[in-house]
Chain A
């Protein structure tokens, strides 16, 4: 595709339910990043994939959060037993590859707005 796409664009769920958020990176991009933008908190890093492996999971806020990436392409961020504080915009970004230089420039998707009631 022409850019990073995410689905759904909006998700409203009830507290305690599980949700899955999907990211389709730019074709050929090996690095994929998940970020969260909470109201009043700014943007924060969640997890990074190089290919299908996640060398950096340091930003995941709790063990209710997990992510996987298959085929070096699509990634899914899963939040189990959602809480109201999980309400945020979840952003995905991809880059051609990690490392220095132009190839590391990250391109952002439009985000998924998650609201937990």
Chain B
């Protein structure tokens, strides 16, 4: 069974700071998702990646398959980035187990 660990669980930072959220997993995966959930809101998929690095605006996600580790970075953070960020690992398909395994989430608060 895949274990997905995120750190930190809670993070409070000042507007403009560079933010890093880490995710590690225990078994091989086919892809890793970074999700964002605002209070009372639904879940939005930010990234799905299986190797290397992806960038969308101020968000950057990296993954190291050998080390079973991924990071989500936010540059020039803003209060509207305040949300819960969730890492989710997707197993290799074909075995029937295609559901995601989720980390517990990182609760990020960006103060003005």
Residues on A lying within 8 angstroms of B by beta carbon are: 31, 33, 35, 42-48, 50, 55-56, 58-59, 91, 98-100, 102, 104-111
A-B residue pairs in contact (CB < 8 Å), sample of 21: A33-B99, A42-B105, A43-B102, A43-B105, A44-B102, A45-B101, A48-B97, A55-B96, A98-B93, A98-B98, A104-B93, A105-B33, A106-B33, A106-B48, A106-B100, A107-B45, A108-B35, A108-B42, A108-B43, A110-B41, A110-B42
Secondary structure at the A interface, as helix, strand, loop or mixed, is strand
Assess A91 versus B43: contact at CB under 8 Å? Given A56-B96, A56-B97.
yes
How far is A109 from B45 in the complex, measured between Cα atoms in Å?
Answer: 11
Task: Identify the interface centre among A42, A50, A105, A106: most chain B CB within 10 Å of its CB.
Answer: A106
Assess A104 versus B48: contact at CB under 8 Å? Given A99-B93, A110-B42.
yes
A58 touches B45 (CB 8 A): no
CB of B31 within 8 A of chain A? yes
Residues on B lying within 8 angstroms of A by beta carbon are: 30-31, 33, 35, 41-45, 48, 50, 86, 88, 90, 93, 96-105
The A/B interface has a contact count, at CB < 8 Å, of 70
3 closest pairs, A vs B, by CB?
Answer: A45-B99, A55-B96, A43-B102
Q: Contacting A104 at CB < 8 Å: which of B42, B90, B97?
A: B90
A100 touches B102 (CB 8 A): no
Q: Contacting A100 at CB < 8 Å: which of B31, B44, B45, B88?
A: B31
How far is A102 from B90 in the complex, measured between Cα atoms in Å?
Answer: 13
